[in-house]
């Protein structure tokens, strides 16, 4: 490398999301040269370092000790140590620890260098076939069903591609709630086990994807990224038309039947329309 490592610098280093071959030459060079590696799970990072034939001092830095460790780590940096921060997989700080440390280092004017590489969000988007000119990364949805539904409803009019991380236990529930919030016919992608032996990236409507999960064509094993295409940008008068449609339907139907019917007619999500119809009824 023409570059030299700088004393007192925190290197934030991306590591592979499954396939160890995805470590970059520069990341390996930084890991070889630093005084110490701050690792989310030292056992996991040890495997990566063994693959690179490196023997380094590893210090745990995870969500449970990050605040406590902060002062010590900042002292090491001020004392001139060169440190690498890694997480278990992908880019640190992306749904992973590191934010408190990076913020504190920046506040104290300590040098930071990014060593980019894999992240599940960009890996998943790269082959999803959904628009990537603008997207919104939502991280993990709330684990509880009610909070998850509210979070999805708040995204009802989002026009950018939406990206979510999800645990295999919650994929089926998340797809069902997404269909409720965005409509059955919204196009989405389920990406699973990227860069690993059982890699899958399947595009379909939310209902088609839910079916593939239910019949096992998409097994609920491994790591998942869910992506949902954004809503059509609303033409100026559409809100008024939807409200008018709901008003007319509610003269003959219950709020929930009116919302169901309006969802069929407009292609919008049932639960978003239901909330809107309820609000209209309460205003009367
Ligand atoms: N920092 C990581 C990154 O840059 O992508 C993310 C860490 S987060 C704790 C772990 C989540 O990322 C998993 O639950 C899954 O949603 C997603 N993920 C990580 N590796 C993946 C892979 N190989 N395939 C699909 N999703 C993955």
Which distant-in-sequence residues (6+ apart) come within 8 Å of 212 by Cβ? Answer: 190, 202, 204, 218
Same domain, 240 and 223: no
Q: How far is the CA of 51 from the centre of ligand 1 (A)?
A: 20
Same domain, 41 and 56: yes
The CATH number that applies at residue 179 is 3.30.950.10
Among 117, 120, 122, the mutation site with the greatest number of ligand 1 atoms within 8 A of its Cβ is 120
Per the structure, the count of domains in the chain is 3
Which one of 212, 228, 244 terminates a domain?
Answer: 228
| 240 domain residue, yes or no | yes
| 5 domain residue, yes or no | no
Same domain, 49 and 89: yes
Same domain, 133 and 110: no
Rounded distance between C-alpha atoms, residue 264 and residue 259, angstroms: 9
Burial of 58 (0-12, 13-18, 19+ CB in 10 A): middle
Closest approach atom of ligand 1 to CA 18 = 23
The confidence score (pLDDT) of residue 269 equals 83
Pairing of strands 135-140, 112-115: unpaired
Same domain, 128 and 223: yes
The DSSP call for residue 164 is E
| 4 domain residue, yes or no | no
Same domain, 126 and 221: yes
Residue whose entry in the numeric block shows the structure tokens 């990206």: 163
164 Cβ inside 6 Å of ligand 1: no
| 140 domain residue, yes or no | yes
Residue whose entry in the numeric block shows the structure tokens 């209902």: 207
| 180 domain residue, yes or no | yes
Closest CA to 115 of 211, 225, 224, 31: 31
Query: What is the helix (H) or strand (E) element at residue 113, kind and residue range?
Result: strand 112-115
177 Cβ inside 6 Å of ligand 1: no
Which one of 118, 152, 181 terminates a domain?
Answer: 118
Provide, for the chain, the percentages of residues in helix, strand and coil under a 3-state DSSP scheme, each rounded to the nearest 5. 45, 20, 40
Tens digits of pLDDT across the chain (284 residues): 789 999 999 999 999 999 999 999 999 999 999 999 999 999 999 999 999 999 999 999 999 998 899 999 999 999 999 999 999 999 999 999 999 999 999 999 999 999 999 999 999 999 999 999 999 999 999 999 999 999 999 999 999 999 999 999 999 999 999 999 999 999 999 999 999 999 999 999 999 999 999 999 999 999 999 999 999 876 555 666 888 899 999 999 999 999 999 988 887 888 889 888 888 888 77
For residue 260, the enclosing domain spans 236-283
| 3 domain residue, yes or no | no
Same domain, 41 and 96: yes
Closest approach atom of ligand 1 to CA 91 = 4
15 Cβ inside 6 Å of ligand 1: no
Beta-carbon count within 10 A of 112 CB: 14
| 1 domain residue, yes or no | no
194 Cβ inside 6 Å of ligand 1: yes
Same domain, 84 and 108: yes
Q: How far is the CA of 17 from the centre of ligand 1 (A)?
A: 7
Same domain, 132 and 91: no
The confidence score (pLDDT) of residue 83 equals 98
| 107 domain residue, yes or no | yes
Q: How far is the CA of 121 from the centre of ligand 1 (A)?
A: 8
Which one of 101, 118, 135 terminates a domain?
Answer: 118
The DSSP call for residue 89 is S
The CATH number that applies at residue 46 is 3.40.1010.10
Strand partners, 90: 15
Same domain, 85 and 47: yes
Query: Listing from the earlier edge strand, what are the strands of the sheet with 224-228?
Result: 135-140, 161-166, 224-228, 187-192, 200-205
Same domain, 51 and 109: yes
Through-space distance between the first and last CA atoms of the chain, rounded to whole angstroms: 70
89 Cβ inside 6 Å of ligand 1: yes
Residue nearest to atom 16 of ligand 1 (CA): 165
Same domain, 114 and 162: no
């Amino acid at each position: 490398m023409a570059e030299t490592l700088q004393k007192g610098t925190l290197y934030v280093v991306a590591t592979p999301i499954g396939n160890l071959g995805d470590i970059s030459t520069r990341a390996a060079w930084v890991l070889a040269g630093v005084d110490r590696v701050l690792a989310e799970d030292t056992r996991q990072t040890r495997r990566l370092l063994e693959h690179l034939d490196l023997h380094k001092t590893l210090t745990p830095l995870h969500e449970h000790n990050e605040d406590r460790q902060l002062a010590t780590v900042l002292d090491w940096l001020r004392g001139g140590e060169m440190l690498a921060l890694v997480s278990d997989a992908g880019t640190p700080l992306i749904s992973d620890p590191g934010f408190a440390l990076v913020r504190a280092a920046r506040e104290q004017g300590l040098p930071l260098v990014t060593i980019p590489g894999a992240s599940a969000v960009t890996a998943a988007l790269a082959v999803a076939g959904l628009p990537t000119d603008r997207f919104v990364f939502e991280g993990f949805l709330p684990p509880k069903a009610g909070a998850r539904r509210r979070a999805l409803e708040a995204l009802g009019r989002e026009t950018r591609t939406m990206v979510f991380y999800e645990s295999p236990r919650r994929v089926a529930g998340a797809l069902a709630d997404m269909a409720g919030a965005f409509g059955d016919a919204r196009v989405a992608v389920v990406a699973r086990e990227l860069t690993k032996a059982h890699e899958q990236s399947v595009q379909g409507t939310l209902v088609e994807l839910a079916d593939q999960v239910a019949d096992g064509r998409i097994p609920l094993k491994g790591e998942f990224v869910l992506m949902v295409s954004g809503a059509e940008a609303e033409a100026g008068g559409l809100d008024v038309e939807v409200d008018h449609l709901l008003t007319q339907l509610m003269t003959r139907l219950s709020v929930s039947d009116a919302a169901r019917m309006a969802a069929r007619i407009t292609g919008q999500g049932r639960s978003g329309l239901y909330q809107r119809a309820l609000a209209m009824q309460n205003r009367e």
